[in-house]
Amino acid sequence: MRRLFITCLYCKKELFGRTDKKFCDPQCKSAYQYKKSKELPERFYNKVDNQLKLNRKILKKYNKGGMVTVRASMLTQEGFDPNFFTHYWKNTKGDVYLFAYEYGFFRKKERNLDKYVLIKWQNYMGF
């Protein structure tokens, strides 16, 4: 009877032991599953969650003073997408601030430039 050579699905080394063995060690199994999951199309939830986290990171980076105005192009160059937000707050003037977690933004035109007013969530805003 001839023995067939079975190789690890990840590193292609020859396997010994059980005939139904697929990986040479737990690291190869983990690396194979990680690689396989990266080949699958990204799930909708992951896309939304990743964009919200990126938006928060960018807003936090530029809002060092509690209330800051920055050019919209600065944020969008870093990957900011204003279509992704967690909640909103409307001030007494009727301006609607969109939030990515605790960091908010309000789009406005100033001297023909698109800008964002950045704020941080405060207790008086409720919840």
The residue to which tokens 């986290």 are assigned: 53
- Alpha helices by DSSP H, 1-127: 26-39, 44-62, 72-77
Tokens (6 digits) for 46: 């992951």
Residue 90 bridge partners (DSSP): 96
Statement: residue 104 has pLDDT above 50? yes
Place 68 in a pLDDT band, splitting at 50, 70 and 90: very high
Domain ranges of the chain: 47-125
Statement: residue 63 has pLDDT above 60? yes
Statement: residue 40 has pLDDT above 90? no
Is the pTM higher than 0.75? The answer reads no
Statement: residue 18 has pLDDT above 70? yes
| Sheet with 67-71: strands ordered across | 67-71, 113-120, 103-110, 96-100, 87-90
Cα separation, 44 vs 113, in Å, equals 33
